């Protein structure tokens, strides 16, 4: 059975990238590795749309999120956390682990923050050290308006910190143009490389904050990571295999150009959303991201069982709902090394899977809607 | 040019293990991955020689060392740190980052701790929460007598914590039999897998300490890691590619049997030491480990330049000296997926490299000594 992966990470990996990992291991301090690490750092700046350094950590995205907290904040800081799903909540959990005072903005899951709420909050607490936001809330599929948040925070002393773990390369994030102070991402979503690398970039203002930060850190010390990175090195032995793979994957993105990569994700998402609606289903996110599409299931359909059945019978992996959304939604990522042919497979399989559990739909209705989008959008 | 890697990590990777990484990426929450994580955890217990759980972290070995500190200790604890090289010092640096009171036992680099010193220290400070030790101090090649430290600490409330990052599978470490409370290791040394996985195992007494620990942690929370691990999962997205590779590599070890793996490392080390002496050179470590051999260079030979020249001209990578040993020693690992043929290459190349920089030796003298060892030791 052919297998297809539409989870919001890990995402499918280009064959050349897989093969790069099967070559003999490199000594991470050899001159070739120094050059490799330097090259990958430079190529990452392009996808982060920044002139700031990008640090490569050996960890998952969550480790990189923790690095942001422990390097930028101090024990007496207060922060605003936008909580609109599992990953916004994670920002809060990390802060809580370090005793940081937390002012949450709680948003109904599936909704995105109204930037006015953030402005009001900052007027109330002008001493706020940072606003912790999420570009795409992966648990709900909602996109947040980071550009407007950047406009609001731009002239203040408050730092804008963005979790772009899932959305980098899928939803636009212009770190420098939008005045974002810290971006965190990882290797295994839009960057088409296995999980294992956390990626972080900081603005000048964020680097200033690292100087006064009094929270304890060692492995995730970003100043050490930056200084080593500038020498083509890392403070500790890195996952050099994945850095080599990432180099390969970044070449794909450079060849396609970031604006085209974003455009591709946009029309794949549009086609998926169109298909879902044509099948009589509702989108879960009010303002959906181009990273993944979250779909509300009819009450009588058990989402967990549906995902499991489709995986076993058809070899197609979607993600189910997380936490309180377990069983209630399914999530289909169109993320990374994915094209319209893949989404045709994703949509056709969803049609069949739903009909197999007794949902009444016209087979082909979703596909037809997707075809219309592809006819109009493909370059 | 054929390349040979004799650094103390990363170490050469078996071809089957490399190929495992080139297969399509697995969804880390699929039932196959749950089974995989469960299997790898079980196989790791065998090499840790323990019945305790082994936790798999996505990080380098240093991240796993930090996990031990933040999970076992509290802010008012005092610990004894055996500092006999760069990695013993690292224990101290991590403690310092978290404000832990440190009683160092400073050992001349190249020497190993006299267990009596530890006993005296514990008599002086019976409230000591933990002794932080190193099985093989990779920067010097010295082996420490963990078994005797275990005997000393066994009936006390003090925890014995061992950095086996480089030495696991090369120098014997019987976690349960020797009353070791915490062992930290990683994927890219004796375990023949790329760098990217930190491995930790804790005794019951160490788990008790985690309950009262008040140091902040999130990504490296070991109780979360254990609970998830028992479900074949991880708290955050793991480097599933490396777990798959590690599964492969662990099968090699299970087939060879751990006692034979240790025996192989012992005779490869013995042959290397014999060769070095026959070439008229001195070993740097007084009590050398079977993980790697550190070799003192004649004063007029620049170790950095020698390592670089041999790498460029002969395609053979040794490690140079670190920190204050830079240029003064070279380090040859016989670690992981390595057999006598590899060490013949390592020794012959060392002979040639030294003669090329003007060191006066009889070509073949080192090789002859190694051959004698192999004749007597090979199974």
Say if residue A252 is in the same domain as residue A264. no
Q: For residue B347, which of B325, B323, B326, B330 has the smallest C-alpha distance?
A: B330
- Cross-chain CB nearest to B195 (options A218, A220, A238): A238
Q: Which residues in A lie closer than 8 A to residue B98 (C-beta atoms)?
A: 216, 218
Q: Which residues in A lie closer than 8 A to residue B237 (C-beta atoms)?
A: 9-10, 60-62, 186, 188, 195
Give the residue from chain B lying closest to A7, CA to CA.
Answer: B27
Do the Cβ atoms of B236 and A26 come within 8 Å? Answer: no
Q: Which two tokens stand for residue A286?
A: 């009010």
The residues near B367 (Cβ < 8 Å, ≥ 6 apart) are B275, B344, B347, B348, B351
Do the Cβ atoms of B237 and A58 come within 8 Å? Answer: no
**Residue-averaged pLDDT of chain B:** 97
Say if residue A287 is in the same domain as residue A245. no
Structural domain total, chain A? 2
In a mutagenesis test of the B interface, which of A1, A22, A189, A310 is the best target, namely the one with the most B β-carbons within 10 Å?
A22
What pLDDT does B379 receive? 64
Alpha-carbon distance B367 to A376, whole Å?
Answer: 71
CATH at residue A230:
3.40.640.10
CATH at residue A337:
3.90.1150.10
Say if residue B172 is in the same domain as residue B313. no
pLDDT tens digits, chain A, 379 residues: what are they? Answer: 899 999 999 999 999 999 999 999 999 999 999 999 999 999 999 999 999 999 999 999 999 999 999 999 999 999 999 999 999 999 999 999 999 999 999 999 999 999 999 999 999 999 999 999 999 999 999 999 999 999 999 989 999 999 999 999 999 999 999 999 999 999 999 999 999 999 999 999 999 999 999 999 999 999 999 999 999 999 999 999 999 999 999 999 999 999 999 999 999 999 999 999 999 999 999 999 999 999 999 989 999 999 999 999 999 999 999 999 999 999 999 999 999 999 999 999 999 999 999 999 999 999 999 999 999 886 6
Q: Which residues in A lie closer than 8 A to residue B220 (C-beta atoms)?
A: 219
Alpha-carbon distance A128 to A102, whole Å?
Answer: 10
Is the predicted pLDDT of residue B66 greater than 70, yes or no? yes
Distance from CA of B120 to the nearest CA of A (A): 30
What pLDDT does A172 receive? 98
CA B138 to each of CA B26, B117, B163: distance values in angstroms, whole numbers, following the listed order? 34, 21, 10
Alpha-carbon distance B197 to A258, whole Å?
Answer: 31
Name the region of B291 (left: φ>0; alpha: ψ -120 to 50; beta: rest).
Answer: alpha
User: Where does a domain end: A230, A256, A282?
Assistant: A256
pLDDT (average), residues B269-289: 98
- Cross-chain CB nearest to B93 (options A195, A218, A239): A218
Is the predicted pLDDT of residue B227 greater than 90, yes or no? yes
Q: Which residues in A lie closer than 8 A to residue B93 (C-beta atoms)?
A: 218
The residues near B112 (Cβ < 8 Å, ≥ 6 apart) are B84, B137, B142, B143, B144, B145, B285, B286, B287
Q: Which residues in B lie closer than 8 A to residue A102 (C-beta atoms)?
A: none
What pLDDT does A378 receive? 64
Q: Which residues in A lie closer than 8 A to residue B224 (C-beta atoms)?
A: none
Chain A with chain B: Cβ pairs closer than 8 A? 168
Say if residue B124 is in the same domain as residue B234. yes
What pLDDT does A1 receive? 82
Say if residue A209 is in the same domain as residue A332. no
Say if residue B335 is in the same domain as residue B236. no
The residues near A152 (Cβ < 8 Å, ≥ 6 apart) are A115, A118, A119, A122
Question: Over the stretch B280-320, which tens digit does the pLDDT of each residue have?
Answer: 999 999 999 999 999 999 989 999 999 999 999 999 999 99
Do the Cβ atoms of A18 and B19 come within 8 Å? Answer: no
Name the region of A192 (left: φ>0; alpha: ψ -120 to 50; beta: rest).
Answer: left
Distance from CA of B49 to the nearest CA of A (A): 25
User: Where does a domain end: A199, A229, A256?
Assistant: A256
Do the Cβ atoms of A25 and B5 come within 8 Å? Answer: yes
Say if residue B231 is in the same domain as residue B285. no
What pLDDT does A379 receive? 64
Residue B163, SS3 per DSSP: strand
Q: Which residues in B lie closer than 8 A to residue A3 (C-beta atoms)?
A: 24
In a mutagenesis test of the A interface, which of B3, B224, B237 is the best target, namely the one with the most A β-carbons within 10 Å?
B237
Alpha-carbon distance B260 to B146, whole Å?
Answer: 20
Task: Give bridge partners of residue B162 from the DSSP assignment.
Answer: B133, B183
What pLDDT does A281 receive? 97
Query: Domain containing B325: what range?
Result: 4-8+257-377
- Cross-chain CB nearest to B24 (options A3, A61, A93): A3
pLDDT (average), residues B172-185: 98
ipTM of the complex: 0.97
Distance from CA of A151 to the nearest CA of B (A): 31
Give the residue from chain B lying closest to A186, CA to CA.
Answer: B237
Say if residue A351 is in the same domain as residue A238. no
In a mutagenesis test of the B interface, which of A196, A248, A331 is the best target, namely the one with the most B β-carbons within 10 Å?
A196
Say if residue A71 is in the same domain as residue A209. yes
Distance from CA of A128 to the nearest CA of B (A): 22
Say if residue A187 is in the same domain as residue A306. no
Say if residue B285 is in the same domain as residue B167. no
Give the residue from chain A lying closest to B97, CA to CA.
Answer: A216
Q: Which residues in A lie closer than 8 A to residue B186 (C-beta atoms)?
A: 237
In a mutagenesis test of the A interface, which of B75, B195, B234 is the best target, namely the one with the most A β-carbons within 10 Å?
B195
Do the Cβ atoms of A237 and B94 come within 8 Å? Answer: no
Question: Would you call the peptide bond into A338 cis, given omega within 30 degrees of 0 as the criterion?
Answer: no
User: Where does a domain end: B256, B272, B298?
Assistant: B256
Alpha-carbon distance B36 to B13, whole Å?
Answer: 20
- Cross-chain CB nearest to A66 (options B97, B99, B219): B219
Report how far apart the first and last C-alpha atoms of chain B are (Å, whole number).
31
Say if residue B216 is in the same domain as residue B263. no
């Amino acid at each position: 059975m052919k297998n297809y992966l539409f989870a919001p990470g890990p995402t499918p990996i280009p064959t050349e990238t897989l093969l790069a990992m099967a070559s003999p291991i490199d000594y991470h301090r050899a001159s070739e590795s120094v050059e490799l690490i330097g090259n990958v750092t430079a190529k990452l700046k392009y996808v982060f749309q920044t002139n700031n350094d990008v640090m490569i950590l050996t960890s998952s995205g969550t480790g990189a999120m923790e690095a942001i907290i422990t390097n930028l904040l101090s024990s007496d800081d207060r922060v605003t956390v936008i909580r609109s799903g599992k990953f916004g909540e994670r920002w809060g959990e990390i802060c809580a682990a370090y005793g940081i005072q937390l002012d949450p903005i709680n948003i109904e899951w599936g909704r995105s923050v109204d930037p006015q709420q953030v402005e009001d909050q900052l007027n109330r607490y002008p001493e706020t050290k940072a606003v912790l936001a999420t570009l795409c809330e992966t648990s709900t599929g909602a996109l947040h308006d980071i550009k407007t948040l950047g406009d609001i925070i731009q002239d203040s002393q408050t730092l804008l910190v963005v979790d772009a773990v899932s959305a980098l390369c899928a939803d636009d994030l212009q770190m420098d143009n939008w005045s974002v102070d810290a971006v965190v991402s990882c290797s295994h979503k839009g960057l088409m490389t296995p999980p294992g690398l956390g990626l972080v970039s900081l603005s000048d203002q964020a680097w200033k904050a690292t100087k006064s930060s009094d929270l304890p850190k060692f492995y995730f010390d970003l100043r050490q990571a930056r200084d080593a990175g500038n020498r083509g090195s890392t403070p500790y032995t890195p996952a050099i295999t994945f850095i080599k793979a990432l180099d390969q994957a970044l070449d794909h993105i450079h060849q396609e150009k970031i604006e085209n990569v974003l455009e591709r994700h946009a029309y794949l998402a549009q086609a998926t959303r169109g298909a879902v609606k044509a099948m009589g289903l509702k989108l879960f996110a009010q303002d959906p991201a181009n990273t993944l599409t979250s779909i509300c299931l009819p009450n009588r359909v058990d989402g967990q069982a549906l995902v499991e059945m489709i995986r076993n019978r058809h070899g197609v992996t979607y993600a189910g709902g997380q936490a309180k959304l377990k069983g209630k939604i399914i999530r289909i990522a169109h993320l990374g090394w994915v094209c319209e042919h893949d989404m045709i497979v994703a949509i056709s399989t969803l049609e069949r899977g739903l009909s197999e559990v007794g949902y009444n739909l016209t087979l082909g209705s979703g596909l037809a809607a997707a075809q219309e989008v592809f006819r109009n959008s493909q370059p």
